[in-house]
Amino acid sequence: MIIGLEKVSKSYEKPGSLKKREVLNEISLKVDSGESLSVIGPSGSGKSTLLNILGTLDMPTSGMVKLNDKNILNYSESQLAEIRNQHIGFIFQMHHLLPQLTLLENVLLPTIASNSNNDKAGLERAKELLESVNLHDKIKQYPSQLSGGECQRATVVRALINQPGLILADEPTGSLDEDSAEQLGELLSKINKEQNVAMIVVTHSMELAKKMNKMYKLNHGKLVGMNNN
Amino acid sequence: MSIFKYILKSLIHFKKQHLSVFAGTLISTAVLTGALIVGDSIKFSLKQIVDTRLGNTRFALQTGERFVRNALADEISDDLGIKASALLQTKGIAINSELGLRNNKTDIYGIDKSFWELSNINIQGLNNNEVYISKNLAQRLNLKVNDEILLRIEKSSVIPLNTPFNKEETPSSSFRVVVKNIIDDSQLGRFGLKNIQTAPFNIFINGKYLTDKLELEGLANIILISDESKNISLTELNSSFKKIFKIADANLVIRELESHFEILSDRIFIDEALSNSINSLDIPNNTILTYLVNTLSYNQKETPYSFVTAASNELLPQSLNKNEIIINDWLQKDLGITIGDSLELEYFVIGPLKTLEEKKSKFIIKDIIPVQGEFSNNTLMPLFPGLADAGSCSEWEAGIPIDLDRIRDKDEVYWDDYKGTPKAFISIEKGIELWSNKYGNYTSLRFNKESIDKNSLENEILEKISPTDIKLNFISVRDEGHRAASNGVDFGELFLSLSFFVIASGVLLTLLLYSLNIESRSTETGVLSGLGFKRNQIFKLRFFENAISIVIGGILGAVVGILYNQAIMFALNSVWHDIVRTNMLHVYILPKTLIIGAISGILIAFITIYFVTRKKLKYPIIGLIRKSSSINYDSNKNRTKLYRIISGFCFLLIIFIVSYSLYTSVDQNAGLFLSAGGIFIVASTLLFAATLNKTSSGKKAFALKQLAFINASRNKGRSIAIIALLALGTFTVIITGANRKTFYGTENNRNSGTGGYLYWAETTLPILYNLNTEYGKEKIGLDDDVLNHASFFQMHLLDGDDASCLNLNQIQKPQILGINEEELNNRGSFSFAKLLDQLDSENPWLELNKTYGNNIIPAYADQTVITWGLIKEVGDTLIYLNEKGEELKIVLIGGLNASIFQGNLLISDKHFNKHFPSVSGANIMLIDSKTENQSEIADLLNSLLRNFGINLTSTSERLSQFYSVTNTYLTVFMILGGLGIIIGTLGLGIVLTRNIIERRNEIALLSAIGYKRKRIFKLILMENIYLLVFGISIGIFSALIGILPSLLSSSFNIPGFFIIVIVLIVIANGLIWIYIPARNALKSNLVISLRNE
């Protein structure tokens, strides 16, 4: 098991009220290496919260988050950052590439957090990955010079640069046009299969969701398995 | 890709943002460094002034009211192989009669070529009627080379002018001199031994010529020493002085009589310290005190004006009890008196300012002796000038009123035959009881020739007495000058305080802009976190990225600080001249100061960004990525509650402080009121923050003004920063403005700084008489009836350094005024800022009459002088040497509110006369009268006391001169405060612009749903005006609390117009910064904004 949730709940305070709003209700989930799954659900159902908890960006109100069978909830901020850097790759709805860095530099950004792969080999890997997503001729360009689809593909490469075991994608196609969304879905699917990387995608797009091995629906705080056919 | 590359690329990409951090750091560093350089520059300039005024002089002996042989200079020079020069200094009035111009306080130095040689100045010698004059005097009197000056100089005398029976001389001597040359600073034109930066008005005259004019041949009152060729210590110099010291330097002479050697003093009465030393010799001696009595009477018969000698029993033919007297046979015959009869003596006791009090004393005749004998002869009469050399009684000049009608022929015959031979003798104990005075107890001391020879006697005396017994010792004037310059008002500290608001604005600007920068990059921060960057890594990235702009800003800021300093120094030498009273201030840059300034500025900026970055990194990563970090993070009930609790506590604290201060002492708790004002800002800002939290927690309202308020609460941090900035700025400016010293008709109040007196008069030449008496008025020539309506409060002056705010040096020994404390107490004049707890606060002036122990006396001074001039506190002690060379401890028992006494130490006349007896007459007086006679009295005094060099100023004018210094400081503070507000509001403008840019979509949306541009403009204006109104209101209320002591004081009128103008300027300034971005935002293409959305 790469990552798993055990009876994870999450609730938020309601502004101006003593009551709490429960977003996730005792959710359990297990994701193994090379596995891919998608989570769909209506807006505000807690999809992104679930992904953020899986990605250690947020903490559950109760329950356990296990990475490689270890509960990571009592880890320090620093240890969690290391996990995010080494084991998890993030793809956000917006590309969030840094405007001051070129495409190549953006891709290499995670490597300087841990000084990993920040050498010639790392550089080669970044170039290879960029080539694999057809961005090899744009490595010196800045995000402002690229299209939305190109930027989002670059974020996929950025997520892969440290060879993580898990990719978490939050509405990766949400800001893309149909063609670009299709291309990105294919790319994610290909990566999952070819690189044996576990992948969890939160999306509104049924097309993208169906590209994953498993499909779940999050509704009223509960995760319900769905048939992705 | 490396961290360095990331930092560098971020730096380039966000160059505008870094430019703002750079600007903030540059401003605060520049101001900080500039202020520090002001401190260095002033210290350096003051030291330079010391060197300029002293030339090569390092040590000086100043004899005060005494004189020493001018040969001392050569003797010391020979003994130590160093250069020395003897000077005779006096004060005078310099008059350009052709143009009718005069300068009252002129320092006149009788010098010889050694004076110039001392400082290696090659200058021609002076003939008898030639003078060199300083440049400033030439300018004041409009004099050129070869012009003529009429000099009226103080008639200095070896005998203190107020000595009993001293001949009444005209107090001045006049003669004409010709300007040989006008000398500049490099030629000692600025020469002076006083620690003050202002240039004296100097005249240098041939020493021999001056001593002849003053009948002080061979005497000097200043010895200067230069040790440029040989480095000697002060101890070595004073040892040499002691070695070559002669009894003549103590104004003593040994006179050889038939059977005795007699010690006499050129000053008539032998100083008590000297007579005590001589009496302690192991050689038996006799003491003598001879006095002039007005009348000897018996059985209605009188003998006028006779000398009576008090002598020790060994000298008298018979031992006498205190009530016994021996008379000569001439008196016996004159009065028809015999042994056992009672003889009455009437005599004057001469008080301060020659106040005469006639007293009587009765004695029983024990013996009658011949007029002339071994003991009884005219050698017993002291050498009173005016008496000893008088040919007849009618020629007497005794310094007291002599009724010539009472002098009979036989009295003239007695004078012809026996001169001042005493007619009666009493015991020395009784004599001291009746006639001892501040100048001494004895007129002579006699040693039997059988006991000792003359040379041995002189040597024994020299062994016993020390120059320090009569306060003669060299001091290191250069070291003292440098010390005073270094320890004076710390202008670095002062301008740091004055520049506080500019520095604070710079820091606030850095803080505000950096906060905005980091907020705008919150997504980047969140993404970095998401990509696995640890918080401390992100912190380092931010820190090092900004370090570059901060370090460059700091370094360049230090350089710009030089320019800021130059601007301040230029202003001090010109428009702010009132503060420094010199135009000799130069910029002096110490590399150390530049480094300290740069490092301090950099550190402040680092600390600022440290806390902002730490705070921002505490936000949840998701919030950062979604860029919602700036909105509503603080909106929680706990924080609102905490704000309310702190705010409530602060308000309670304010109530407690104000109540306590009102209950105890409004005047003495000014600091507490100011603190309460400061706390009010904190409390109100927190309350405002709590209100914003509440508003953003869910209250819904859709009226435009409510919408505006809700909008204002969107960016609470920014709104609070704006409120705090405006409140602090308004508070500072009002406090400063309200404390400007003004009169508004309160100057005639007796408890005001004028004491209710009309005029302050200083005379170059001392006035020896009490001008409130008929006798005194007559002597001085104040014979106009109008002057009978005037009362004079005359004060004795012990010359010292000016400790007023006009002097930048640190003063250890300010000039002392001996005052009549009872009169001030009866009038209820002046008021006190601080008094020691144990004093009688109902009658504070009478406290000056007390003595706290042997040579420990109380004194008052202006509180500002105590704090800034002396750098002391009430309760501290100043050490002086009295005329006996004894340590005199002067305890500062209280501080006066700003008064015309600024610069002086006030002690009781009683103590003054005891410790500084040689000071004759009064040079300073306060004059009171009915206000309708005011101008007439001023005209009369200016005319009648013209030859005394009177300088008459109205007390309110004098006070306003001191106020002008305070007001100039306040102006500086206001200007720099205003600069701070401008810089601060520049930040405000940037914040508002930023707010509006961030809300461009929202504005476009409002437009899309039908809001007219005018209404949107009104909305933006309204929400920011809320902030402006709140900020300024908080500032005004806090300032009102701060100035409550002034508001409650009857002698204070708030300069309302001034404050209203200031507040209007702040409001106008704020409105401009609101108007411009709002207008610009509405000018932009709203459709594009909406399309982007």
Give me the interface pTM, i.e. the ipTM: 0.86
**From the list A55, A57, A105, which residue is nearest B1 (CB)?**
A105
Strand extents, DSSP E, B270-300: 285-298
Q: How far is B10 from chain A (nearest CA, A)?
A: 6
Residue at A67 is within a domain: no
Q: How far is B520 from chain A (nearest CA, A)?
A: 12
Under the banding of pLDDT at 50, 70 and 90, the label for residue B1086 is: low
Res A48 pLDDT > 80: yes
Strands A70-71 and A62-67: antiparallel
How many whole angstroms separate alpha carbon B132 and alpha carbon A207? 107
Q: How far is A94 from chain B (nearest CA, A)?
A: 10
Contact A84 B530 (CB under 8 A): yes
pLDDT at B632 over 50: no
Give the one of A16, A104, A110 whose C-beta lies nearest to B531's C-beta. Answer: A110
Chain A residues whose C-beta sits inside 8 Å of any chain B C-beta: 15-16, 52, 55, 57-58, 77-78, 81-86, 88, 90, 92, 96, 98-101, 104-105, 108-114, 118, 158, 162
Q: Determine phi and psi for B74, rounding to 5 degrees.
A: -65, -40
Query: Within a domain: residue A43?
Result: yes
Contact assignment for B529 to A162 by CB distance below 8 Å: no
Query: What distance in Å separates the CA atoms of residue B334 and residue B132, rounded to the nearest whole number?
Result: 61
Helix, strand, coil content of chain A in percent (nearest 5): 40, 25, 35
- Per-residue tokens: A40: 């769909």
Tokens 């898990």 sit at which residue? A166
pLDDT at B43 over 60: yes
State the average pLDDT over residues B825-843. 89
Q: Flag whether A190 is in a domain.
A: yes
Give the nearest partner residue to A114 out of B13, B529, B532, using CB atoms.
Answer: B532
- CA pair distance B501, B809, nearest whole angstrom: 27
Looking at the predicted structure, is the pLDDT value of residue B1058 above 60?
A: yes
- The percentage of chain B sitting over the pLDDT mark of 70, rounded to a whole number, equals 92
Contact A109 B6 (CB under 8 A): yes
pLDDT at B629 over 60: no
User: Phi then psi for B951, rounded to 5 degrees?
Assistant: -125, 100
> Is B534 within 8 Å of A111 when comparing Cβ atoms?
no
Q: Does B336 touch chain A (CB under 8 A)?
A: no
Whether A4 maps to a domain, the answer reads: no
Q: Kindly report, residue by residue over A79-128, the tens digit of the pLDDT.
A: 888 888 888 988 887 888 888 889 998 888 888 887 654 577 788 888 88
Identify whether A112 is part of a domain: yes
Asked if B927 and B823 count as a contact pair (C-beta separation under 8 A), the reply is no
Strand segments, DSSP code E, in B318-390 are 324-328, 342-350, 356-369
Q: Is the pLDDT of residue B628 over 60?
A: no
Q: Can you list the positions of beta strands (E) in B685-771?
A: 759-767
User: Distance between alpha carbon B35 and the CA centroid of its chain, in Å?
Assistant: 23
Q: By CA distance, what is A86's nearest residue in B?
A: B532
pLDDT of residue A181: 83
Cβ atoms of residues A35 and A92 within 8 Å? no
Position A68 in a domain: no
Residue B894 has pLDDT above 90, yes or no: yes
Contact B988, B729 (CB under 8 A): no
Alpha helices by DSSP H, B589-701: 591-617, 621-625, 637-663, 670-696
Closest-CA residue in chain A for B694? Answer: A16
Q: What is the mean pLDDT of residues B502-507?
A: 77
Say how far apart CA B336 and CA B329 lie, in whole Å.
10
Cα end-to-end span (Å), chain B: 34
Distance between CA atoms of residues B658 and B660, nearest Å:
5
Facing residue for B531 by CB, picked from A58, A99, A113 = A113
Strands (E), chain A: 3-13, 20-31, 36-40, 62-67, 70-71, 88-91, 166-170, 198-202, 214-219, 222-226
B132 vs B134: CA distance, rounded Å? 7
pLDDT per residue as tens digits for the range B955-970: 888 887 777 777 777 7
Q: Which residue of chain A is at minimal alpha-carbon distance from B8? A: A100
Task: Out of A52, A78, A105, name the one closest to residue B622 (CB).
Answer: A52
Contacts of B12 in chain A (CB under 8 A): 100
DSSP calls for B832-886: EEEE-TTS-TTSGGGGGG---BTTEEEEEEEHHIIIIIS---TT-EEEEE-TTS-
Burial of A136 (0-12, 13-18, 19+ CB in 10 A): middle
Q: Is the pLDDT of residue B974 over 80?
A: no
* Minimum Cα–Cα distance from A98: chain B residue: B524
Residue A16: what pLDDT? 57
Question: What's the CA gap between B996 and B1080, in Å, rounded?
Answer: 9
Pairing of strands B301-311, B424-427: parallel
For the residues A187-213, what does the mean pLDDT come to?
86
Name, in order, each residue with C-beta under 8 angstroms of B620's C-beta and a sequence gap of 6 or more.
Answer: A58
**Chain-chain contact of B528 with A84 (C-beta, under 8 angstroms):** no
Q: Given CB atoms, is B524 within the 8 Å cutoff of chain A?
A: yes
Residue A162 in any domain: the answer is yes
Rounded to 5°, the CA angle A63-A42-A204 comes to 105
Nearest residue to B971 via CA among B423, B579, B446 = B579
The pair phi, psi for residue B583, each rounded to 5°, is -115, 25
Q: Distance between CA B709 and CA B692 in Å, rounded? A: 8
List b or e across B296-313, with b for residues whose CB sees 16 or more CB atoms inside 10 angstroms: bbbeeebbbbbbbbbbbe
Residue B1053: both structure tokens together? 């009128």
Indicate the pairing of strand A36-40 with strand A214-219.
parallel
Flag whether pLDDT at B855 surpasses 60. Answer: yes
Residue B930 buriedness (CB in 10 A; 0-12 / 13-18 / 19+): exposed
CB contact under 8 A, B6 and A101: yes
Asked if the Cβ–Cβ distance from B533 to A101 is below 8 Å, we say no
CB contacts of B635 in chain A (<8 Å) are 15
Rg (CA), chain A: 17
Structure tokens of B924?
A: 């300073």
CA closest to A48 among chain B residues: B622
Name which of B336, B224, B118, B199 is nearest B807 in CA terms.
B199
Burial of residue B504 (number of CB atoms within 10 Å: 0-12, 13-18, 19+) = buried
Residue B634 predicted with pLDDT over 50? no
The rounded percent of chain A whose pLDDT value lies above 70 is 95
* Number of structural domains in chain A: 1
How many contacts (CB atoms, under 8 Å) link A and B? 86
Domain, as residue range, for A190? 34-56+77-226
- CATH number assigned to the domain comprising residue A202: 3.40.50.300
pLDDT tens digit sequence for B310-330: 999 888 888 999 999 999 999
- B619 CB near a chain A CB, below 8 Å? no
H or E element at residue B719: helix B716-738
Q: How many angstroms separate the Cα of B460 from the Cα of each of B242, B260, B452, B470?
A: 14, 16, 10, 17
Q: Do B531 and A112 touch (CB under 8 A)?
A: no
Q: Are A2 and A33 in contact (CB under 8 A)?
A: yes
B1 close to A (CB below 8 A): yes
> In B90-233, which ranges are continuous DSSP H helix?
113-118, 135-141, 207-213
**pLDDT, tens only, B153-191:** 987 788 887 788 877 766 778 899 999 999 999 999 999
Amino acid at A185: G
Unique residue bearing structure tokens 């990605």:
A55
CA distance B530 to chain A (A): 7
Handedness of CA B873, B879, B882, B888 (dihedral sign): positive
**Mean local confidence (pLDDT), B63-68:** 89
Which residue of A10, A52, A72, A98 to mutate against B (max B Cβ within 10 Å)? A98
pLDDT higher at B639 or B823: B823
Cβ distance of A113 and B532 shorter than 8 Å? yes
Type of residue at B602: I
B285 near B447, Cβ under 8 Å? yes
Whole-number Å distance between alpha carbons of B7 and B1079:
36
Q: Is the pLDDT of residue B695 over 60?
A: no
What mean pLDDT value characterizes chain A? Answer: 85
Average pLDDT over chain B reads 85
Check CB contact of B393 with chain A, cutoff 8 Å: no
Q: Round to whole Å and give the CA distance between B1066 and B1071.
A: 9
The answer to whether the beta carbons of residues B570 and B28 sit under 8 Å apart is no
Distance of CA B511 to the CA centre of its chain: 40
Quote the pLDDT of residue B701.
45
Contact of B100 with chain A, judged by CB distance below 8 Å, is answered with: no
pLDDT of residue B581: 73
- Cα distance between residue B907 and residue B847, in whole Å: 10
Residues in chain B with CB shorter than 8 Å from the CB of A16 are 697-698
Residue B529 to chain A, least CA–CA distance (Å): 7
Q: pLDDT band for B1093, please (50, 70, 90 cuts).
A: very low
Instruction: Using an 8 Å CB-CB cutoff, list chain A residues near B1.
Output: 101, 104-105, 108-109, 111-112, 118
Residues of B in contact with A86 (CB under 8 A): 532
Nearest by CB: B534 against A58, A78, A108: A78
Chain-chain contact of A92 with B530 (C-beta, under 8 angstroms): yes
Residue B203 above 60 pLDDT? yes
Residue B633 pLDDT level (bands cut at 50, 70, 90): very low
Q: What burial letters (b/e) apply to B576-604, b meaning 16+ CB within 10 Å?
A: bebbbbbebbebbbeeebbebbbebbbeb
Given B10, B532, B625, which is nearest A85 (Cβ)? B532
Give SS3 for B527: helix
Provide the token pair at B237.
């110099």
Tell me the HSE value of B62 on the side-chain side, using a 13 A CA sphere.
15
Domain-located, residue A61: no
Greater model confidence, B181 or B740: B181
